[in-house]
Each structure stands twice: as C-alpha cells, then as structure tokens.
C-alpha cells in the first residue's frame, strides 16, 4: 500500500540533507543556489504484513518536495507529468548548467499527465540495468546466447561491454522487444531510444541525454519484477507472464550483488576518503547498479539483510561536479541519505 507516513518520512529525510547548500565546483564551490532534482522511491517488504511504498520528488520548481500519487496498487505516478531531459547541439545537458533558466527551455513530455511537472534527470550508467534486461529478454526468447560482456557491464560499469550488449540488442532485434515489454508492464518512463547498431548509446551517438529515460518509481518496479522474493506485482493483472525467466532474473541479480561501485547510496568503495559517511549497506547486501557523470548520480537496487527487504532507487542531478573530493562520484549528502533510508526501511511500520 502507499504509506502516507512513509511519504512524509522520506520528504523529511531529503529535506534534512539541505541539498541546496551543496557546493558546486562549476561555480567555484559556491552552493548550488536552488534545490537539485532528486527522485527517490522505496518499496519495503516486511516479513509479515503487506508491502508499503513511497516516492518523493524534489527540484528547483518543487524545493519542498512532492509526494507521488501511486496508490495502493503500486501503479504509475498519477499526479506528475514527467518531462524528458534535454541537451543542446553541443551535447551539453543544458538544464543543469549554472544559470540555466528553465522558463526558457522547452522540455518535451515523457510520461504521465498530472498537474505537476518534473524533469526526469538522465539515469547515467543506471541505464545499463535496462540494457541487461533487454539482453536477458533476448536470451529467454532464444535470440542470442548469454554474453560475457553483461557481467562487466553490470559489475564494473564497463562502457566497452555496454557497447557490445547494445550492439547485440540491435543484431537480434531486441530494442523494440525491450521497450515494448516495459511498456506492457506499465513502466512507461523506462525507455531506451537512439542507440546505434554499432553499440552507440552516448550523447555523441544520438542517444544519451534526451533519448534514454528512467524514473525512480519505475526503476523500483522493474527490480520488483526481477526479485523472486517479492509478492506478485499488484499493478498487473493476475497471471501476467513474468518479465524474465526466473533463472535469467536470478543471473542479473547475482551480477548486481557483485557490484564494485558502492559510491552513491552506498559508500564502502570510498571509505578511505576524507569526510566519508557511511551509506546503505554495500554489495552483496545491496544488489544494485549505479550511474554518475558530471551532472548526474543514480543508484537502484535490492537490499536483503536478515528480515530487512526493500527496493530503493534514486535519480538525481548531483553528479561528480558536486563531489567533495576528486575520487568521489557525488556529494556526501547522497550516501548520508542512503543511511537514513536504510534506517527507515528497517523500522517497524
């Protein structure tokens, strides 16, 4: 069920981090000056009782935060129109440049028709989770073998391996298969467009920002469809075929458990750095995929620790330019938020 108390607790958790005060290296370490975009979703699966879920969203247009209306069937967000991210002819993510005036930018609708507007930040390398699902779909249908490149794409976020997997999707005609399977299961904001037969998926290839889209709540629901230990998805009719064969879903989750980039919501890979805060538990407890660029940081995965079981996703406009030290991927405020989310998810309802 959608849990109003969980909604409010997540709103307060994000507000407590004072993200608008984050130093921006592109502005000589001055504070951002407005609230960054943060799309945070959580679904908790207690050992007894019904699952509960929430999704909160923040942006410069909604600095106090918005509670997503997703209802007791865990359906699509009903009160928000998501707008697609955008770039200019030079490949710059112009919505996030210092001094960008959103009143002059013409964002294109992505999904939803609610009264509130939210620009969906580019997922960065979190998109590789979608690519992996596409490869597994193709494998399940006998269109390809399971590629060795999939492991490196998920575990160390290797870009060359991602090229191989995207090219494979094109060779076996699985791009439309992937987008169609996601849409059929109500995950309208998860879209992979603009990639090339040679495996291109970046801005320079005509893909990347403005072509590849994800949101936190649909990322949570995608992982829900892969997690064999969750109840049947309540937003789908009973008897809906599984997205992937159980063995294929298990292989993807096993790869996510070997994640080496614990550096967004979890932070163990960076514990040697000054000022390090503890975040979510690291892999393998947190089976997840991260993404980061100068402008974006994202993380989504499944946490299993004793009786604690939840799925969390965050997509943000808080990339490497906001990192406190060069070796970090984002502001320390994000793993600190991750630690709070873990405490929230562990607490009794």
Q: In whole angstroms, what is the distance from residue 101 CA to residue 123 CA?
A: 22
pLDDT of residue 348: 82
Q: What is the Cβ-side half-sphere exposure of residue 260, based on CA atoms within 13 angstroms?
A: 8
Separation of CA 77 from chain center: 15
Rg (CA), the chain: 19
CATH number at residue 89: 3.40.710.10
Number of domains in the chain: 1
Residues of the chain with pLDDT under 70: none
Phi–psi pair at 219, nearest 5 degrees: -65, -40
Check residue 349 and give its pLDDT: 74
- Quick: pLDDT tens for 254-280: 999 999 999 999 999 999 999 999 999
Q: Which residues contact 191 (CB under 8 A, 6 or more apart)?
A: 110, 179, 182, 212, 213
Give the DSSP per-residue string, 184-203.
HTT-TT-EE-S--TT---SG
Sign of CA dihedral 61, 66, 71, 75: positive
Q: Residue 243: its pLDDT value, please?
A: 98
Residues 6 or more apart whose CB falls under 8 angstroms from that of 258 comprise 151, 154, 155, 283, 284
How many CB atoms within 10 Å of residue 144?
A: 18
User: How confident is the model at residue 269, as a pLDDT?
Assistant: 97
CB 224 within 8 A of CB 270: no
Confidence (pLDDT) at 301: 98
C-alpha distances out from residue 170 to 131, 142, 210, 245, Å: 11, 15, 20, 21
What is the per-residue burial (b if ≥16 Cβ within 10 Å, else e) of 270-300? beebeebeebbbbbebbbbbbbbbebbbbbb
Q: Prior bond to 6 cis, omega within 30?
A: no
- Predicted local confidence at residue 19, as pLDDT: 98
- The structure's pTM equals 0.97
Q: Long-range contact list for 273-278, CB < 8 A, 24+ apart?
A: 273/325, 273/327, 273/328, 274/324, 274/325, 275/324, 275/325, 275/332, 276/332, 277/332, 277/335, 277/336, 277/339, 278/335, 278/339
Q: Is the distance from CB of 53 to CB of 220 less than 8 angstroms? A: yes
**Domain of residue 140, residue span:** 4-346
Distances (CA, A) of 166 to 135, 190, 269, 308: 8, 16, 28, 35
């Amino acid at each position: 069920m959608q849990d109003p108390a969980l909604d409010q607790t997540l709103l307060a958790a994000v507000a407590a981090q004072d993200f608008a005060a984050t130093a921006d290296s592109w502005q000589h370490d001055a504070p951002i000056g407005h609230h960054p975009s943060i799309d945070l979703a959580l679904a908790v699966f207690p050992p007894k009782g019904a699952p509960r879920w929430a999704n909160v969203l923040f942006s410069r247009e909604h600095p106090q935060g918005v509670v997503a209306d997703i209802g007791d069937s865990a359906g699509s967000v009903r009160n928000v129109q998501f707008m697609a991210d955008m770039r200019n002819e030079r490949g710059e993510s112009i919505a996030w440049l210092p001094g960008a005036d959103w009143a002059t930018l013409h964002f294109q609708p992505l999904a939803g028709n609610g009264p509130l507007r939210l620009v969906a930040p580019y997922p960065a390398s979190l998109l590789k989770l979608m690519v992996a699902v596409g490869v597994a779909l193709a494998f399940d249908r006998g269109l390809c073998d399971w590629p060795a490149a999939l492991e490196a794409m998920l575990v160390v976020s290797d870009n060359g391996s991602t090229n191989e997997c995207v090219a494979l999707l094109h060779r076996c005609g699985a791009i439309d298969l992937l987008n169609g399977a996601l849409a059929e299961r109500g995950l309208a904001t998860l879209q992979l467009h603009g990639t090339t037969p040679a495996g291109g998926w970046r801005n320079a290839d005509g893909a990347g920002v403005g072509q590849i889209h994800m949101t936190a709540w649909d990322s949570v629901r995608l992982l829900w469809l892969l997690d064999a230990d969750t109840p049947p998805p309540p937003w789908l009719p009973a008897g809906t075929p599984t997205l992937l064969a159980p063995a294929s879903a298990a292989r993807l989750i096993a790869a996510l458990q070997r994640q080496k980039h614990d550096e967004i919501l979890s932070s163990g890979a960076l514990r040697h750095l000054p000022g390090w805060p503890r975040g979510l538990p690291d892999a393998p407890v947190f089976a997840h995929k991260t993404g980061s660029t100068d402008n974006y940081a994202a993380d989504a995965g499944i946490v299993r620790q004793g009786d604690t079981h939840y799925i969390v996703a965050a997509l943000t406009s808080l990339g490497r330019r906001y990192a406190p030290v060069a070796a970090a991927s984002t502001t320390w405020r994000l793993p600190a938020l991750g630690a709070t989310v873990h405490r929230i998810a562990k607490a009794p309802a």
